[in-house]
Each structure stands twice: as C-alpha cells, then as structure tokens.
Structure 1
Amino acid sequence: MNEEMEALNRWVLTELPLRRKPIGFSGSCLYLLVYVDDIILTRSNTKIIDDCKLLLKTKLRIKDLGHLKYFLGIELLDNNDCLVLPQRKYCLEVISEFDLLGRKPAITPLESGVVFSNINDHDSTDSPPENISEYQKCVGKLIYITLTRHDIAYVVHRLSQFMHAPLKSLLKAAFRVLRYLKGRPGKGVTVKRNNDFVITAFVDSDYAKGSMLRKSVTSFCIFLRNNLISWKSKKQSTVSRSSAEVGYRALTSCMWYLLCFPVNIDVVTVVVIYGGGWWQEANGGGTYTLKISI
C-alpha cells in the first residue's frame, strides 16, 4: 500500500480553465474515478482505456475486475441501448436492517395531506422516539438511496429537516418510505444512448412551503441527451413576498448553474413549470418553453 501512495504523490493534477481543452486534444476522453482503493475507468475510445490500464500496472499493483457491475451500493445493468442504475441490493439490506421485510408494501411514499413538523400541539402521544439515532440512521440511508430513486426525493428532503428533533410520527413516515421501496426495490436511473447533444432544464418553485420559516423552495433538473444528469431542490435564502418573485429566483438559480456548466453550450431549452401561481401571473399560465442562447 505504501508503494501505491508514493506513486500517487508523484502524479501532478492540473485543473483546466472552464471550457478549455488540453493541447493536443484529439476528441477522445478518458474518465478516471478513484474511491479509496477502487478505480473506475470509462472512455470514448476502447484503445485509450487499454493504454491507461497498462500505464497503471507499471505504477501500481492493480487487479482488473472487468466490466463494472456494482459500486458503492449502486448496480449497473448494461443493455444494448441503455444503462440502468438501481440500488436493489442496498434497498433490501436497509429494509431488513429496520425489520420491515415482513411488512406490507406501501403504494405511495407519502400519505396525502401530511404536513411535517416537530412541534406537537394536538396529539399528546406523538412524543420524541426513545432512540433518536434510529431516525437519523434511517433518514441518512434514505438520502443515499435518492441518488437513484428520485421518486422519494421530496419526502426524504422534508424528513431530513428534523434530524435533531424528530417525533414518532416522523419515524413512522420514514418507515413508510422504506415500505414503499420494498414494493419496488429494483427501480433506478436509466441512461439511454443518444447522439443528440441537447440540454434541457426544467424549473419549478414552491411558494412558502416551509411551515416553520415560510421560505420557498427552488427546484430544477437538467437533462443532457434526454438523460437526467443534475438536479436540485433547496430552500431559498430569503422570504419572498409573492409567488412571482419566488419563481424568477428559481429560474435565475437554474440559469446561473447552466452558465457554469463545464461543456460548450450554445442553446439551452428551459421548461418553466408553474404549479398554480407565479408563471400564470406573469405569462398567462401553463407550461412555457424558453430557448436561451448562452
């Protein structure tokens, strides 16, 4: 192990300026991901990855495990036209850890009309759980599952706001998410092969969603070649006075992210989704599509 660490110390990594290519770049790319003692290689040219493995063997003692099938709890299923990234094994391990394998699966991750809060004014039986770490562990594992299961992202985002002061009702809601995953443990992100270099962004906002601080939520997701590559859902830093202000803040946040995108972009399609307020006030309502030149 000491030899590997000494070899890594001799490597020099240089960060290129944004949207700049190295001298002599021929169009072929090699991507190397290192996590502790695991290395993943992917490429745009088969010969490049073979040359890289030969180079690594001269510097390090490595073992070639072949095509990637499982990494950090994420499985990789390679079909002819797409890649599927589920977390089936990890989901079942988490469900088993909290002794929910024998429970009935839930149809939805969240019951209708539920409002999360750690302030108990109505139900005297809804007290903090005896072991708060159980709630923290459960929500922490759910956060990792949201890497490939975006259908539970909203409820997990809400549950994660009460990590230090949960109630039994919140723990019950977290267990419901696990029961929902029990019915569909094999779902995941699909990455399709597509030659059309098109970037599309979907923007939405939720006005005064925070029941405690009345802060609104910015949400957007970005697709490259019809594949989801980036997403965000975060509370805005200030309290807005109108839903129109909230919506334009969300649109600005998304556009700023696209401006910093590490690829050459000429035109971006931004789809603004209004959920009943700000875009209707400004543009007459509905879903509106913008083609923006950068």
Structure 2
Amino acid sequence: MLGCKPATTPIDQKFKLVGCKPATTPIDQKFKLGAEAGEPDDHDRYQRLVGRLIYLSHTRPDISFAVSMVSRYMHDPRKGHIDAVYHILRYMKSTPGKGLIFRKSGHMSIEGYCNFDWASCADDRRSTSGYCIFIGGNLVSWKSNKQSVVARSTAEAEYRAMALGVAELL
C-alpha cells in the first residue's frame, strides 16, 4: 500500500506505513473532499480506520478537523476519501510527540480563539467553524464542526463561529 516497507509498530502493521513519505499537515488545504471523490472503496476498512482516528483525536486536537472532514463519508467512502485518511496517518507518523501536555503556569487567564471556513463543504456549501479554549496556557476545550445552516456571507459564517466560541467560554 502506497509503496511502503514492511511494518514494525501496531499502526504500521495494520496499515503498512513504514517508510512512507511524511506529511507536514493533517489535511491538504487544496484537496476538497466531496461525495463523488473517485471509485467506491472498502466500506469496513474505511470505517475501522476513521473510527481509530476519531478515538485518537480526543488527545490529538491537531488532527480533529481533518478527522471530522473524513468522517462525513463513513456511509459511502471513495478512493479520494481513503487517500485523505492515509494522509492523516502519514502526518501522525511524522509527529509522534504531539498531543495534549498540561503545564503549571503562574496565571489562570482564559483565552479563546475561533475560526471558520466559509462554504467549505463541496456537497452542501455549509461552512465549518471551530474554536479552542485555553486556561492558564493549557488547551482544555476545542471543537470543529459544520454549521447548521448555509451562511450567506463570510461575515455570517464568522459571526456563527464567534457565537459558538463565546458560548463555550461562558
């Protein structure tokens, strides 16, 4: 698979990723996933892969957005979707030390950040918004999901993302 060498770690044994070209980002920004992204792929294998990534995203917020993108196609995976999943796995292989680390700091200030991607879903044109909340410099809450309605403008999508982030801060 993907021209890789034999596996040595549990994830590598399962998905044969030793020696693969590492990825620097969890998902390629230029790659737009859609419902018709190539030929149909193995449904069970795709669900197992994405299920494991969902589990890992609880401690790896850096992959949560990418995992949410590929999990949209659990019901009908295509070749382009499985390629995106393998890209996430190659990213994880190149960043083994990433994860949540809590450090003691001298302050308990609360910071929140939010962002959005206007009309990012090619299938229904809904925007994706997300936020992350820090207390004392430590990440304690984050979320990335599709907005419930189609935003008519970038300002509306941004307002919805800010409202989501402020609600979590409160």
Task: Give the TM-score range, shorter chain.
Answer: 0.7 to 0.9
Give the counterpart letter for 1:196 in structure 2: H
**For residue 203 of structure 1, what is the aligned residue in structure 2?**
114
Structure number with greater Rg is 1
- Work out the CA distance in 2 between the residues paired with 1:148 and 1:224: 17
Q: Secondary structure at the match of 2:72?
A: helix
- Work out the CA distance in 2 between the residues paired with 1:188 and 1:232: 16
**Residue number among 69, 72, 93 corresponding to 1:161 in the alignment:** 72
**For residue 81 of structure 2, what is the aligned residue in structure 1?**
170
Question: Is contact 2:57-2:63 (8 Å) kept?
Answer: yes
- Report which of the two has the higher share of strand: 1
- Work out the CA distance in 2 between the residues paired with 1:218 and 1:163: 21
Question: Is contact 1:218-1:250 (8 Å) kept?
Answer: yes
**Residue number among 222, 227, 230 corresponding to 2:138 in the alignment:** 227
Question: Is contact 2:103-2:138 (8 Å) kept?
Answer: yes
- The answer to whether residue 32 in structure 2 is matched with residue 106 in structure 1 is no
**Inter-CA distance 104–217: structure 2 relative to 1 (3 Å threshold):** closer
Task: Please report how far the alpha carbon of residue 183 of structure 1 lies from its aligned counterpart in structure 2 after TM superposition.
Answer: 2.1
Give the counterpart letter for 2:10 in structure 1: E
For structure 2, which runs of at least 5 residues remain unmatched after alignment? 1-8
Question: Is contact 1:94-1:141 (8 Å) kept?
Answer: no
For structure 1, which runs of at least 5 residues remain unmatched after alignment? 1-91, 121-125, 260-294
Question: Is contact 1:103-1:179 (8 Å) kept?
Answer: yes
Alignment coverage as a number of residue pairs:
162
Runs of 4+ in structure 1 off by over 6 angstroms are: none
- The answer to whether residue 32 in structure 2 is matched with residue 115 in structure 1 is yes
**Residue number among 81, 93, 116 corresponding to 1:182 in the alignment:** 93
Q: TM-score, normalised by structure 2?
A: 0.86
> Kindly, what percent of the aligned residue pairs are identical?
38
Give the counterpart letter for 1:198 in structure 2: S
Give the counterpart letter for 1:143 in structure 2: I
Q: Which has the higher contact order (CA 8 A, sep 6+)?
A: 2
Over aligned residues, Cα RMSD in angstroms?
A: 1.7
Give the counterpart letter for 1:108 in structure 2: T
Question: Is contact 2:34-2:121 (8 Å) kept?
Answer: no
**Inter-CA distance 256–171: structure 2 relative to 1 (3 Å threshold):** same
**Residue number among 39, 55, 58 corresponding to 1:127 in the alignment:** 39
